[in-house]
Structure 1
Amino acid sequence: MNQPHQPSRRILLKSAAATTAALAVGTAAAPALAAPGDTATAAAAPGGFPDYRYVKTLLKPSQLTYNPTGEIIFPCIRGTAGRLSAPLGRYYLYYAPHDAPGGICLAYGDHIEGPFTEYPRNPLVANVWQPHYSVSHVSSPHVMWNESAKEMWLYFHGENTTTRLARSKDGITFTYDKVVLSTSMLPAGTTETSYARVFPYELPSKNAHFVMLFMLNNTTNHRDIHWGWSADGRNWTFDQKALVSHNDVSAVNIGGPHLLTRGGSAFVVYNKDKTSGGDLMITEVGADFTLRRHLGRFYESAAGAPDNGRSASPSFGTEGGVPYMVYESGERLQGSISVARG
């Protein structure tokens, strides 16, 4: 399962109307999938999700003008149609170098499979933003379309102890908002709270309309997945216990979490570090995040290029009803941004 460089296969959507809607919106959140019992042309990954197959590499550091460190991480794909006025393309692909100085970057294109054009004035957000902060680096951009605000909300880290929020009407020019996550908000001994992704998600029992998934490290130097919830996407409450622990899945470290939903339940897709296998894994957490059902491997990394045994930080979207996964491919700080099709 999930061996790259094989012919792509497409999931059949439930109706032509669903296909038309997905194309019109250009959505890049959780993929539109066949409902349980629908016919599908591809084998299903755990949880009934598509069996994603590598298609191509989208961005390589060596081909980028803004390339301060020779590495890029943490892609985030977002559709612009019906959201932004006069966008540069139908899809915005956010990414960043990790090492200092980092910098939140943008590439744009009309198809999730590319090609993507590097925005000529990268970085959009730098490691110094007076009077708000001056840090060694900023990285891990996650952009969420906030429907009520009609804005792109950017969550990013710098340093690894702090996640911040910035907001934009055009997806390019951002206004600083505030710190939304820091180590001080989690248990004593926490050393890192970063690589956060935020999703619209209804949790009536907590009066919440958004959830955040992020990586937490502590003095044991083992990384876990944690989570929080919010009514407005700005002010957060965080569970003080791990959502998914590295011990739960026999890993040294886990990170890069993304939320998917299907059949009324929620699932977390995340990466194990290469010393633990380098694949993407999936855990079902249930509609109210109280379930812990570890379903195993979601995507098997190729031993050869471009994965070289490691896939990480997936971001999901659809185009014309076809599900895609944009992800970090290759050894950490030596990889590229690739795309796989379901």
Structure 2
Amino acid sequence: MNEPRPGRRLFLRAGAATGAALTVGGLTAPAASALAPEAAAVAAVAATPGGFPDYRYVRTLLKPSQLKYNPTGEIIFPCIRGTAGRIANPLGRYYLYYGPHDAPGGICLAYGDSLEGPFTEYPHNPIVANTWQPHYSVSHVASAHVMWHEGLKEMWMYFHGENTTTRLARSKNGIDFTYDKVVLTTSMLPSGTTETSYARVFPHELPSRGAHFVMVFMLNNTSNHRDIHWGWSADGRTWTFDQQPLVRHGDVGAVNIGGPHLLYRNGSTYVVYNKDKGSGGDLMITEVGNDFSRRTHLGVFYNSVSSAPESGRAAAPSFGTDGGVPYMIYEAGDRLAGSIAMARG
């Protein structure tokens, strides 16, 4: 395990008491079992003043070379979801969605009973391919973010393909998905937008906008500098998008930023995202507030190290808490040459 590093703090909604509940991505379901006492002890030791966990790399969960479905030798954009209380007869307590980016891409699934791993590759990957007749045929599909829709008791998957278009598919079991619709395209953003992708969607109340869901995503334009944008929706299907960035790359001293994820602490809302420094990059955090009106840039959230598997780059985080122990599942390593890793708070 890496040595403690100053300045790496997580601003996260407080976890449930050990053994009482399972929280993944800010959503809560009953826990099947508590983590071992030693895992809980690690979390207690790692807690910083104010109760914020300090993430540290623990192990690699998935490597392309170990996967049966491996068309391009790379995988990106993990999304971890708990199945307890949601899916009947699941393959495991957790579903981990991921996949290659380059053509043909493909949305893939692995499953396991602990956020510590191991995860087993689903034998029939990809569960969503780059051709889905009669809905689309594209060069690639990638970056699946799966949200548990409590009201409908469904897993909703948002994924991109091409980089200009984000789509929605829905499932009762988290494996077999039904196509729904396009939810985001470059045409919905300002003129000159060339990419709208890597979207994540979260239940989030915005009473002033009549919204129950928010989306955060990466936008590129003709300047070839990527920013974080956002939108809101009453139903998760039809969206309105702010025409101005939520976080600008220049405001945080970056060439590009992307891979956003929402977190919550002390009654406020934060966005965590990867910062591209031109060669590698760290995870950064900005407080946006519950109404998304704030822009308080708080600096480094997770400082990647030069040694493998991070090799100076951490990106596209997804978060879970089991038995009060917080975890981060993320891309570790060079873009399109890395693995899916796990860090523990």
Q: What TM-score do the two structures reach when normalised by structure 1? A: 0.91
1:218 to 2:218 alignment = no
Alignment match of 1:121 (pick from 118, 121, 124): 124
Alignment match of 2:81 (pick from 78, 96, 112): 78
Alignment match of 1:5 (pick from 2, 6, 27): 2
- Amino acid in structure 2 at the alignment position of 1:19: T
Match of 2:183 in 1: 180
TM-aligned CA deviation for residue 30 of structure 1? 3.1
Unpaired runs of at least 5, structure 1: 33-38
- Amino acid in structure 1 at the alignment position of 2:26: A
Say if 2:106 and 2:127, in contact at 8 Å, map to a contact too.
yes
- Tell me, in whole angstroms, the C-alpha distance in 2 between the residues paired with 1:142 and 1:17: 23
TM-aligned CA deviation for residue 227 of structure 1? 0.2
Aligned residue runs from structure 1 range 117-266, under 5 A: 117-266=120-269
TM-aligned CA deviation for residue 19 of structure 1? 2.9
Match of 1:305 in 2: 308
**Cα distance, 1:17–1:211 mapped onto 2, change above 3 Å:** closer
- Tell me, in whole angstroms, the C-alpha distance in 2 between the residues paired with 1:19 and 1:202: 28
Equivalent residue of 2:286, what SS?
strand
- Tell me, in whole angstroms, the C-alpha distance in 2 between the residues paired with 1:88 and 1:253: 37
Equivalent residue of 1:205, what SS?
helix
Give the length in aligned residue pairs. Answer: 326
Task: Compute the RMSD of aligned alpha carbons.
Answer: 2.3
- Amino acid in structure 2 at the alignment position of 1:42: A
Match of 1:36 in 2: none
1:21 to 2:27 alignment = no
Say if 1:329 and 1:336, in contact at 8 Å, map to a contact too.
yes
Say if 1:253 and 1:276, in contact at 8 Å, map to a contact too.
no
TM-aligned CA deviation for residue 50 of structure 1? 1.6
- Amino acid in structure 1 at the alignment position of 2:144: P
Unpaired runs of at least 5, structure 2: 29-42
Alignment match of 2:68 (pick from 65, 69, 83): 65
Say if 2:13 and 2:266, in contact at 8 Å, map to a contact too.
no
- Tell me, in whole angstroms, the C-alpha distance in 1 between the residues paired with 2:222 and 2:271: 24
Match of 2:321 in 1: 318
**Cα distance, 1:14–1:339 mapped onto 2, change above 3 Å:** closer
TM-aligned CA deviation for residue 294 of structure 1? 0.2
Equivalent residue of 1:27, what SS?
strand
Say if 2:16 and 2:323, in contact at 8 Å, map to a contact too.
no
Equivalent residue of 2:24, what SS?
coil
Match of 1:55 in 2: 58
Q: What TM-score do the two structures reach when normalised by structure 2? A: 0.90
Say if 2:261 and 2:271, in contact at 8 Å, map to a contact too.
yes
Match of 1:97 in 2: 100
TM-aligned CA deviation for residue 18 of structure 1? 3.1
